[in-house]
Structure 1
Amino acid sequence: MGAYARLFVPISVLIVAVVAVRYTLLVDSEATLARHQLVLESRQVTQGLTEAVTPLVLADDRRAIAALMQRAADVNAAVARIRWLDDRGALVATRLPESPAYPGWFARVTGLGPLTYTVPIGPAGARMELWFSATPALNVVWRAMGRQALVTCLNVFLVYFLLGLLIYATRRMLRRVGRATQAFRDGQYHVRLPVRGFPEAQAVAITFNDMAARIQELMQTLQSEKERSEVTLASIGDAVIVTDPCGRVESMNETAQTLTGYAPAEARGLELHEVFTLANNFGQHTLMKTLAAVQAGGPVVKAKDQNLRHRDGRRFNVEYTAAPIRKAGGGLHGTVLVFRDVSETRQLIQQMSWRSYHDVLTGLPNRAALAGRFDQEIARAQAGGALLAVCLFDLDHFRQVNDSGGHALGDEVLKQVASRLHDFAGNDHYVARLGGDEFVLLLRDHGDRAGVERTLERLMLALTRPYLAGSRTVPLTASVGVAVYKGSDVSADHLLRHADQALYQAKVQGRRKVHFFDADLDEQVRTHHNRRTEVREALLAGQLVPFYQPKVDMRHGRVVGMEALLRWRHPARGLLGPGEFLPAVEHTDLIADIGEWVLRQALEQLAEWCAAGRMWGVSVNIAARHFQRADFVQQLRAILEEYPAVPPRLLELEILESSALHDVNHVRCIMQECQAMGIRFALDDFGTGYSSMAYLKRLPADVLKVDQSFVRNMLVDRDDLHLVSAVVGLARAFNRSVIAEGVETAAHGALLIRLGCDLAQGYGIARPMPAEDVLDWAAGFVKAPAWEDASLLGPLTDLRGDLRSFNLDVNLSTPA
């Protein structure tokens, strides 16, 4: 038990003693007060009853006397019994005794007992006897003691609680100090204690941290000195052996260990010539003479062209220098032998030459080697008339391999990819690594494009086989861009750029594709780029504007929200819909800039409508590229903070069902983070993707939007009607709201109401409009009569008949 814990014993004894003394005095005080009160009350009752009964005695009215005594017994809680005695007998009045609320021992402790009075009245020897019970008084004392006991228990609890907190905080501080001390013992000199808690704990933490900083500084100094010595020996690149004055080995660096084959522990104490063994003629003899001369005070000795024999029999061409190590007084401290492998220099030159033209990780030729080979292959293709196909490979989703298994796993996969490409290329083709996960394959001697396609088909099959890295199996695919050289006047750089453009198209088409460069398509890409530039300039120039399409509750005839839809006020072409410019930017970062701009516009408009008393929700479409950005949640939170007057629950984000299913887990995490801020989600175009109950269960969407293509044709196409009914049923089963797009007539709305879908939007309700027109439209909105009739008809349960059999009581061609 610790010192603080042992304090509980004396503190407990002290508390018990104080409580005992206090309650002894308290019981005495309360008992004395209760006894005095009982005596006073009993005397008052006796005196009052005596005065009241005297006239009745003189009148000899025994019945009145009995009634008076009984009334006195009933009125006074302390009265237990009253008896009247005269020559004609006794009259008795009693009271039902009060139940004691105290234990039996309490009466003995207080010393309170019953009181008895005998009062003579009248001349004939009549008297009145009164008995008073102490039970009411004892109950009062006991209750007072109970209240005091409750207060005492609370005080004792607080004392122990505070003492426990003190002990807990102290023990926690000691545990921290213990862990930090142990960490220091384990060499973790960066450990520090947090400076917090009560002043003593802060003082201990500050003292410990100051001590730790000094120790760390000292250890860093020692470590740096040690590292400096080790680095000095290692950085010179030479082998070093130090001997004592007798020529026995004392120490050796790592290079010396490598060249001799001896570990320091094995070599220590051996003669130098036993470790440094020279195999050339007279080598050992010359070495021993050199050592003797150096030890005798001779000059530094140098020797070249020596043949050093390794412990395992290998031989190295070395040159060495032997020099004495002198003490401060001039005496011999030992000898240092410095030698180097001169063959290593030649090997290093060869290695540097190899690395200049090869990738270190995979061993394939690098970009520099490819440039020289490219010119040869182009000249060869020009001379032979055959096709040269430049194939640029990029591994699909390779970053996920690095993220999931680290760079070690990624490097292993890259080496296996390079090995498969190298094996496939053989002596007929040429393969190189450009960097990262990009490889180039030069396919030569093909007669036509079909031959190139067949060759690449075989190669793609080889690359898609799973890669084995230790115990893990990594599935991976590749995309390929191909540029074919047909003898035209084009450079290697142009061919690579064309292959890169084709690779981009392969990625856009869904990856795991082979795409050939097409000059016409290249023109389209440039046109696409120009369109993206125009859209960016339109955003900066303020030409993009949000329009709002109302959402209504058809059953109750009220406006429930708006959908923000983007329009472009083109200076030359007029008002353009999103389909005419958004596809050009949806796969670029510009779509995120546009999405953030629309969010700000929608929140600003929401603030105006809230100020006008219109608490409508506004939904904003979010592109897949924007939604899946790593900083989407942080940016959205920052945008919401710019509009504190807008409740986040009024903002609804619409994401396409098909885009959400590419990475359900990632999308689910983003949705949950946004929903934690109060934002709602809708799955747009629901039914056009993979729409399964499993996906619906994993995506926490609040609203399902039935795609307008189903809604628009459901009056004439039974399949579309069944699809709409199925989506409504799914929403009901998963407790989701459902809204239908594409409501073009009152009949569409009426049928939707009977299917169980009350929320809708579409041209039959209102077309998208500028923000300034919304309030006027909402003020004039009137519920269609057909919707009222459909609400009264009840749900539609039979979809098997012909659509013409549905009695909607409306003209199907009449808009709402």
Structure 2
Amino acid sequence: MGAYSRLFVPISLLIVAIVAVRYTLLVDSEAGQARHQLVLETRQVTQNLAEALAPLAAAHDRAAVTALLQRTANVSEGVSRVRWLEDGTALEAMRLPDAPLYPAWFSAVAGIDPLTYTVPVGASGSHVEIWFSATPALNVAWRALRHQALVTALNIFLIYCLLGLLIFATRRMLRRISRATQAFRDGQYHVRLPVRGFPEAQAVATTFNEMAARIQDLMLTLQSEKERSEVTLASIGDAVIVTDPWGRVESMNETAQVLTGYTAGEARGQELHDVFALANNFGQHTLMKTLAAVQAGGPAVKAKDQNLRHRDGRRFNVEYTAAPIRQSAGGMLGTVLVFRDVSETRELIQQMSWRSYHDVLTGLPNRAALAGRFEQEIARARDGGALLAVCLFDLDHFRQINDSGGHALGDEVLKQVASRLHEFAGNDHYVARLGGDEFVLLLRDHGDKAGVERTLERLMLALTRGYQAGSRTVPLTASAGVALYQGSDVSADNLLRHADQALYQAKVEGRRKVHFFDAVLDEQVRTHHNRRTEVRDALLAGQLCLYYQPKVDMRHGRVVGMEALLRWRHPQRGILGPAEFLPAVEHTDLIADIGEWVLREALQQLTAWGGKGQLWGVSVNIAARHFQRPDFVRRLRAILDEFPAVPPRLLELEILESSALHDVNHVRSIMQECQALGIRFALDDFGTGYSSMAYLKRLPADVLKVDQSFVRNMLVDRDDLHLVSAVIGLARAFNRGVIAEGVETAEHGALLIRLGCDLAQGYGIARPMPAEDVPGWADGFVKVPAWEDASLLGPLMDLRGELRDFSRDLNLSTPA
């Protein structure tokens, strides 16, 4: 029958209990009242009879007495027998007993007993005896009780009728709710309950309808979100596969179908490792362990360098991330696998890696490659006791070739020079291009200086032969500076510096010469110690100052920061740039004192600008010797504490690539400690230093600064343009920011925008200026129209063709 029907049982028991108590009390009440009434009436009848008999007894009128007795028996209700006694004479009258209306058990329950009275009559000495029956009183009580029982029965009937109606209405309402709920399960979210019936039913219907409306809105929202998610998954470039908690495929987007070869229908229900089939060693085993760890509640897992096998046998280099899909309560709903084809990226990285160690124009090793080989050759010469000759070559009057025949002719000559050097070096020696028209040759296994001289004579003759460029023969000579290493405690940097000093002497002596480094001359050169003293005095005297060069977002036309540049207000020579005095101190501890002074001045300026609401970031160049001091982080933290109003994120430290050459792990740890304080890092002059771009993978720099030497010539030098584009691409590949230096014209900025580099600085934007001039310049800064046009044109897709078109628009000549 159901829960509501079963309510009859307790209600019935409750009614029975109430009725039993009530009628127990009612029987006592009615019986007591009937008993009391019986006593009153019988006493009255007895008294009246005695008074009526007194004169008749005194007259000894027996016939009248008999008649009175009979009349009393007939008339008085409840009298069963009347007897008069006088002097042994008895007169008696009787009445037939009344029919009882009550059941036999009632007399026992009511407790009303018959009554008997004996009353003397007058002074004659007679008396009368009257017997009263309890039947009339019991009948009265029973009638009252029966009347109450009828009323109670009617009430109970009405109660059961109302209860039945309530149960019927409630069950009907529940049936409606059940049907509506089932319709919701079947997706009929528009179903509503009619609002009618008793108030409670109306309230339930209203509540259900409100809940249904909310659920309908929620389901429509979820459906919309699901459709949006499906469209998003179908449109993103990454492949996505979703599994159930047991690792079986539930869905996959179009990209995943293309990479695996399975359609969504074919893959659904299959094990993930059957669809996402990895062909590299232990790939499948690692994938299954990864899924097991994720399904057990572990965190997301990333994997790189994986080889995905397509259904038709093709293979893709992929990287993937497996992450759990959890309920809000923590339960597992499944796993999502996101993977991408990184084959092109891998090729790009390999290409960038080659370019990071080789000169793009000549194919020779570059500075980065030279650095590693240099250390090896020094160690070999030191351990073997052999002579190592470091030869630095420079082409004489090479600028005239570029000026007369253009960069195309200059590039062709450089290629031929590199070819002759490479051929001469063979497998015994090592040659590299430092940049421009400078080359380095490491000559090893020579017994003495005379042997080196004879070797270089042959090489110089080879370099002086004419260079053929089409139908034109280009005459060219070279100068060389040589530094000899014979096991002394000299670093590669010093050997190159010695060779550079010797090359300078060769140029001074008339070019086309080979000059060996002279230690005596070096001592004379070291007299610039006096310059170091002057610089120290200038620092103490407050003659150093900071100029600021703005850094702007060319695409959006806004100022994004400043670079703090050191200047010396020389009493006699005026404002001097850092190249005039920093080389004399960059390898001394004084460079650290200057660096800390610069940091404090920059932070002080940031405080001043911040007070005016100008929250520009400021970048500061940090020398390698200063940066690698053991107490650098501690002292930097102390300096930051002196300026609590400056957020550390506004300070950016610029370091050269060569700062990380000797101990990458140490530099990495310093950078990470500084970044924990909120400080950002930029790699300055990127692509020109000793270190390799491969170090970028290990150094957590935030920004790469494209060297100005590449940016200046990129409008007319294809190799510089390719190099700039490569650095920008490398920054993107490693998720780093990029900013270009040396923007001298609006055309430089426009081309950089189209290459994907929006941030820049240079004379074409603003020259370095005193701090007090910066706010005025910033207020007057406007976006260059050429930059706006470049933003609308979009990125360069075909670098060679687009550069020609771009150059044609600017009336620039671009080499083929």
What's the TM-score once normalised by structure 2's chain length?
0.40
**More RCO (CA 8 Å, sep 6+):** 2
What's the TM-score once normalised by structure 1's chain length?
0.40
Larger Rg: 2
